[in-house]
Each structure stands twice: as C-alpha cells, then as structure tokens.
Amino acid sequence: AEAAALALENESLRDQLHVAMRTKRELLPVTIAAFQSDAVSATLTINCGLRDGVTRGMTVIAGGNIVVGIVTETLTNTAYVKLVYDPRTRIGVRVGSQTLAYAQGDLHSGLQLELVTASDPIIVGDSVVTSGIDDLPDGLVVGTVETAAVTPGGLFQKATVRSAFDPALGSTLFVILNQ
C-alpha cells in the first residue's frame, strides 16, 4: 500500500515538474475533493483555498498542460472550479496554428466553437489551445475538434471540441498561482 502511494506521489510530482517546466509558472498541486455535473453545470471542489493563495479567476490545469477550469469561489480551505465544458464558460482559443475563436462550454458535446467564419481552416482532429486573449494563459490544451461544418447560409462554421480533461483520469490537478 505504501509503495502504491509513493508511486502515485512520484507520478504527480513528475506531472507537476513537466507542467512547471513547460509553463514557467508557479503551480500549486491540489486534489479533487468533489465533482458535480448536472443538467446546468459542471464544477469541482478542490482541497486548497485562500490559506494556500488560491483566488478567484485562477486557472486550474491537469498534467500535460490541459486546462481544467477557472476558480470561481474560494473559502479558507477549499475552492470551487467551473470546468472548461461548463455552459457558463467562454474562453478564447486557437484552432490549429492560426484560427482564433471563442469556445463555449456545452455539457452534451464538450465545447462549441463560436465566431468561426466559413473560410477559417478547421479540420476534424485539429488541436485547440487557449489563445491568451482573455484571462487564461496562452497555449494550454483545451481539446480536439470533433466535428466541423459550414452552417446554412455559408457564412460561419459550427464546430464541436472534445475536452482533453476527463475527471476520471485522476484526482491531482494544479492551480497556476502566477498567471
């Protein structure tokens, strides 16, 4: 049992080191205390709060620079995180290497891309990362384009993005303290 716990801690520290080296940011390791997803929202409760320096608006990521969500409320020892695919979440993203758009959370399909013209190059399988045009750091992994099609009238595209974050993959996350 102790060896398994040490192996998990080792993996968590390697994830933290890998993420910290890539982002050059100060990261606070946190654990998911609770996960809630219902018909109108998707949130996490994490085990760190004001006493640890966590404040509203901070970005929460998983290993591999995967954006998880945004801290919406902090208490002394806990904080609440609105997940990236919560319908109240809208973030600036970059699709592929050049297309800028907004991604709106959607509980049924992950995220919906907005403001994408029909001429913007979007291909199923394109990577989607944060663009840095809002309060989130640039270059965090959001997910992958799952569907893309020109809307009736031909001016815009409708595209869905599958979030790279899956709460079932582990309970250790990181809060970016100095974004």
Quick one: residue 177, left, alpha or beta (phi over 0 = left, psi -120 to 50 = alpha)?
Answer: alpha
Answer whether residue 179 shows pLDDT above 90: no
Report the pLDDT averaged over residues 85-106. Answer: 93
Tokens of 132: 């840095």
pLDDT at 8: 62
Please check whether residue 147 is in contact with residue 31, taking contact to mean a CB–CB distance below 8 angstroms: no
Question: Residue 169 burial by CB count (10 A; 0-12/13-18/19+): exposed, middle or buried?
Answer: exposed
Amino acid identity for residue 17 in this structure: L
CA-wise closest residue to 8 among 167, 164, 168, 170 = 170
Query: Measured between alpha carbons, how far is 179 from 176 in angstroms, rounded to an integer?
Result: 6
Answer whether residue 51 shows pLDDT above 90: yes
pLDDT at 121: 87
Neighbours of 107 (CB within 10 A): 15
pLDDT in tens, 99-139: 999 999 999 888 999 888 888 889 999 999 999 999 899 99
Report the mean per-residue pLDDT for the chain: 87
pTM assigned to the model: 0.84
Query: Measured between alpha carbons, how far is 159 from 113 in angstroms, rounded to an integer?
Result: 5
Please check whether residue 88 is in contact with residue 102, taking contact to mean a CB–CB distance below 8 angstroms: no
Dihedral over Cα of 142, 143, 146, 149: its sign: positive
Answer whether residue 64 shows pLDDT above 90: no
Report the pLDDT averaged over residues 161-177. Answer: 90
Query: Measured between alpha carbons, how far is 56 from 44 in angstroms, rounded to an integer?
Result: 14
DSSP state of 151: P
Answer whether residue 19 shows pLDDT above 60: no
